Every structure is written in C-alpha cells, then in structure tokens.
C-alpha cells in the first residue's frame, strides 16, 4: 500500500501510448506526487478557479467534468475512470473552464503540475503519450457533441452505454456482460442532454427491446450487437488500436 504502485499505473498508461526509454521511466517514477481520495460528489476542481498546481490521475473510481448553463441546467461533458487524467485539459491553461467532480469515491495520484508540464515539453516520448491522451479526450468530446446534437434519446443512451463498456474494458475494469454504472438517472440525463424522467423511460424501452437488463445500478446486455447497432456505435473515435505510431 505504499504509493509506488500509483506511479507505476501512470507509467503503464503512458507506456501504452508511446514507447519510453529507461530515462523516461525513472523520471516518471521520480515525479513529485501525493496520493489522495475524494468522496462521491466532492469537487476536484471548480470552474473559474485558478487551476491547481497538482494534476490528478485516476487510480480507481469514477469522476466527471461538468459545466453549468444559465438557469442552473447542468451538462456533464465527460466521464473518467482508472487511467484517465483529470487535469490534462488544463495543463497549460490557468483558469478552469469547467468543474471536475468525483462520481463515486475515487482515488487519485496528484502529480506536481510544473513537473508534469516539464515532462510534456522536455521528454519527447512522454510528451507524445500525453498529447495522445489529450487528443483522444478531445475526440470523445466531438463524439459527444454528435451524440447530443444528432441522436434521439434511445441512440444517445445506447451510445453512452457502449462507450463506457468499451472504455471500461480497455481500462482493464471488470466487464463481463455488464458493469456497474454509479450514475443516477438524473446524471445520465445531464450527460446526454435529457431529463431524468425521459432517461428512465428510455431505459425501460431499451430493456423491453431486450438490449439491456438493469438491476440497481448495474447494466448488462446479452445483445451487445443489438445495443451497438441501436447506438450506431463505431469505436474508431476512441483511438484504442493506435499506440500513436502504427
């Protein structure tokens, strides 16, 4: 339970994106850092604040990014899990343009921001890995714009479920025919631009179609193909196959 494993996880993640040499590896493992955890719904970062001098990397649990519209409407703009960076999006920006919040209890490593900036700019292999991380996140944002802008309720939710399915698998989480989704229906609505009531009805619809089954907060599917086609899900945008150089 030392914090050695924490940086190892970070190392593995980066290495999966770009080949590193020994210098890179030891530099990563030498990064000044602190382990922390947040309770569900705790803020990791608040919109409009000055960006913190530590950068979080998720070790376990889920988190999300959030923006508020006038009138208090909320939009969740991304979801994050093991192996995701929480502050890469602000690595070189000084004002937070959105909030980051824990969804469930999460554990993170906080890395010194200046040190991470330095790695990004002065260690090409690490820099490449970080670039890829940031670019993939932007790609997911584009898919979310499409999701919210051009799919109906059924497609939106099906797509969200497919995306999480694939991302969780890729992140090495336990996904065997289903997974735990610790979002309330209201939060799901905030992620896909719907009302909690309509999310509920749409879940029922998907269940009636035999595409999913639900129990508490776990979602399962015996018909993943059906779900994918309901979502018109194409995982290219997750850039999973690419290690940066093919």
Partner DNA sequence: CGACTCGTTGAGTGATATCAAACCCGGTGG
Partner DNA sequence: CCACCGGGTTTGATATCACTCAACGAGTCG
Interface residues with DNA (CB under 7 A)?
A: 152-154, 184-186, 189, 193-198, 200-204, 214, 217
CB atoms within 10 A of CB 76: 21
The CA-based dihedral angle spanning residues 216, 237, 121, 86, taken in that order and rounded to the nearest 10 degrees: -10
Torsional class of 216: left (φ above 0), alpha (ψ -120 to 50), beta (otherwise): left
At 229 the three-state DSSP class reads helix
Q: Which stretch binds a copy of itself (CB under 8 A): 6-14, 53-61, 72-80, 212-220?
A: 72-80
* Between 25 and 180, CB nearer to a copy of itself: 25
CB atoms within 10 A of CB 206: 23
**From a copy of itself, DNA, none, interface partner of 184 (C-beta below 5 to 8 A by class):** DNA
Asked if residue 118 lies in contact with residue 32, where contact means CB atoms within 8 angstroms, the answer is no
Binding a copy of itself by CB under 8 A: which of 139, 200, 209, 224?
Answer: 139
Both structure tokens of 125: 């292999």
The residue written with tokens 């991380």 in the block is: 133
- Taking the complex as a whole, the smallest distance from the CB of residue 191 to a copy of itself amounts, in Å, to 8
Distance of alpha carbon 154 from alpha carbon 161, whole angstroms: 11
**Please, what is the Cα angle at 174 between 169 and 175, to 5 degrees?**
60
128 binding a copy of itself? (CB under 8 A): yes
Torsional class of 201: left (φ above 0), alpha (ψ -120 to 50), beta (otherwise): alpha
Within positions 40 to 69, which residues make up the interface with a copy of itself, using CB under 8 A? 48, 65, 67, 69
* Between 75 and 104, CB nearer to a copy of itself: 75
246 binding a copy of itself? (CB under 8 A): yes
- Taking the complex as a whole, the smallest distance from the CB of residue 52 to DNA amounts, in Å, to 26
Binding a copy of itself by CB under 8 A: which of 193, 201, 214, 224?
Answer: 193
236 binding a copy of itself? (CB under 8 A): yes
Binding residues for a copy of itself, rule: CB under 8 A, are 48, 65, 67, 69-71, 73-75, 77-78, 89-95, 97-98, 117, 120-122, 124, 127-128, 131-132, 134-139, 141-146, 148-151, 155, 192-193, 232, 236-237, 239, 242, 244-246
């Amino acid at each position: 339970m030392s914090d050695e494993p924490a940086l190892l996880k970070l190392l593995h993640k980066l290495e999966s994106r770009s080949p590193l040499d020994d210098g890179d590896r030891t530099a990563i493992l030498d990064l000044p850092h602190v382990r922390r955890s947040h309770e569900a719904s705790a803020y990791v970062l608040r919109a409009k604040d000055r960006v913190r001098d530590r950068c979080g990397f998720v070790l376990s649990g889920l988190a999300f990014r959030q923006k508020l519209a006038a009138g208090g409407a909320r939009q969740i703009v991304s979801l994050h899990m093991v192996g995701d960076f929480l502050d890469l999006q602000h690595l070189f920006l000084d004002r937070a343009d959105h909030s980051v919040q824990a969804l469930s209890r999460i554990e993170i490593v906080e890395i010194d921001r200046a040190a991470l900036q330095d790695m990004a700019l002065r260690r090409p292999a690490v820099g490449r890995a970080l670039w890829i991380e940031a670019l993939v996140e932007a790609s997911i944002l584009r898919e979310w714009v499409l999701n919210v802008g051009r799919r109906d309720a059924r497609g939106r939710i099906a797509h969200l479920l497919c995306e999480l399915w694939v991302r969780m698998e890729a992140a090495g989480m336990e996904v065997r025919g289903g997974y735990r989704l610790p979002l309330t229906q209201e939060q799901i609505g905030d992620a896909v631009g719907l009302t909690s009531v309509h999310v509920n009805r749409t879940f029922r619809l998907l269940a009636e179609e035999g595409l999913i089954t639900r129990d508490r907060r776990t979602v399962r599917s015996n018909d993943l193909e059906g779900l994918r086609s309901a979502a018109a899900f194409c995982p290219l945008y997750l850039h999973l196959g690419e290690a940066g150089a093919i």
